[in-house]
Amino acid sequence: MRRPSKDPNTLAVHAGDRKKPADCTPVSTPIHTASSFFYDAVEELEEAFEERRPGSVYTRFGNPTTGAFEEQIAALENADFGQATSSGMSALHLAISAATTDRRRSIVAGNSLYGQTMAMLTKVLEPQGLEVRFADAFDPEKFEETVAEARPAAILLETITNPLLRVPDLERLVEIARRHDALTIVDATFTTPVMLRPLDLGVDLVVHSITKYIAGHGDVLGGMVLGRDELQPVVRYLARTVGAVLGPFESFLALRGAKTLPLRFERQCANARILAGELAAMEGVERVYFPGDPAHPDHEIACRLFPDGMFGAVVTFDLEGGRERALGFINGLEMAVPATSVGDVHTMALYPPMSTHRDLSPKHRQRLGIGEGIVRFSVGCEGVDDIVADVRQAVAKTIPAPVGG
Ligand SMILES: *Cc1c(COP(=O)(O)O)cnc(C)c1O
């Protein structure tokens, strides 16, 4: 406080506040909750506004805690910048908006995307005038035909699809996009920068739901868009103007969580690989979907794109007996958490027809290859023997006792 006062009202508002830290460095990034920032002279504020000097002015434009988190993930992704957003969905919305600003208002999307992404495309963006076409990303020739016809501003893909865990040939699809002057947006939530750095393959914008592996502890909702310098101005401008940015508390939690992302994710992938092998031999399990399985349709692509032995940390399987057994299995779990998410430190199980794919009719699900006995398992960091034992006992409960036995 520059002006002395004895008035308790003034003292309560100003005394002690805004003390610059002494000349020492905290070992972790403080949570800067301030919504606005000021400088010794107001001219400096103007310089900060115009980005002629580093420094924050207003938290919607940028915040030191959020900035630290953005820098952390951009470094992991080999990106020039990261823009943190309030959720994975707002990150997808931001990436699509950026890719279609001052370009053709048209997009071609892979046809087995996250349910809410499909809903955003068809129920929000299409009615607003975006031309949306879907194409089979697992049939690159057909995909290219659609791209050639639609001449989209961008194509939109996921690195591993949900819940059947298909892996599109990103290198080939990026080539197709480039040939037709389209940008490539990739939702890389399921691979994380530990397993794949799509920008290195020529992808233009990477999107993450921070909520999942990156924050990793089931206590943050957030997202991020990452890319190269060319797209930074439009992404930043849209983020600050539309305003769905990540708050400093969430940024702090995500920054803290992501410090152990490589450790957690390597452990989770290793656990998932073991579980997938065990499931394949379990009585009561009809089919296992896991890109590490040599019989998986995209196994070769996964081996080419991902580091040795890493195939993601989600395992999906079909139980014999359909819906009733699948629900019985989930209710029978004694350690895994029956919750709607992926990527947390704890193992989670989910029934897609009731959660991620609940908006689709059983017929539509069948067409996508999603049967009624399906279970999606997000493998956590627990001891793998405990995970396998929990699954084994819950599967055993779903097997009916022999009649008269
Ligand atoms: C969860 C998820 C989203 C949405 O992220 P939110 O943080 O829940 O908004 C988008 N894409 C994928 C692949 C996801 O798993």
How many residues are given for the chain? 405
Structure confidence at residue 367 as a pLDDT band (50, 70, 90): confident
pLDDT tens-place string over residues 135-194: 999 999 999 999 999 999 999 999 999 999 999 999 999 999 999 999 999 999 999 999
Strand ranges in 250-295 using DSSP code E only, listed in sequence order: 285-289
Minimal-distance CA residue to ligand 1 atom 7: 88
Q: What is the distance between the alpha carbons of residues 113 and 246, in angstroms, rounded to a whole number? A: 24
Ligand 1, atom nearest to 90 Cα = 9
User: What residues does ligand 1 touch, defined as CB less than 6 Å away?
Assistant: 87-89, 114, 158, 162, 187, 189-190, 209, 211-212, 221, 223, 342
Is the bond into 64 cis (omega within 30 degrees of 0)? no
The answer to whether the beta carbons of residues 348 and 342 sit under 8 Å apart is yes
pLDDT score of 33: 96
Enumerate the β-bridge partners of residue 146.
none
Which of 96, 161, 189 should be mutated for ligand 1, with most atoms under 8 A from CB? 189
Ligand 1, atom nearest to 221 Cα = 7
Instruction: Judge whether residue 360 has pLDDT over 90.
Output: no
Q: What is the distance between the alpha carbons of residues 349 and 113, in angstroms, rounded to a whole number? A: 19
pLDDT tens-place string over residues 88-147: 999 999 999 999 999 999 999 998 899 899 999 999 999 999 999 999 999 999 999 999
DSSP H or E stretch at residue 376: strand 374-378
Q: What is the distance between the alpha carbons of residues 3 and 182, in angstroms, rounded to a whole number? A: 58
How far, in Å, from the CA of 314 to the mean position of ligand 1? 14
141 burial type by CB count under 10 A (0-12 exposed, 13-18 middle, 19+ buried): exposed
Ligand 1, atom nearest to 113 Cα = 13
Minimal-distance CA residue to ligand 1 atom 8: 88
Minimal-distance CA residue to ligand 1 atom 1: 209
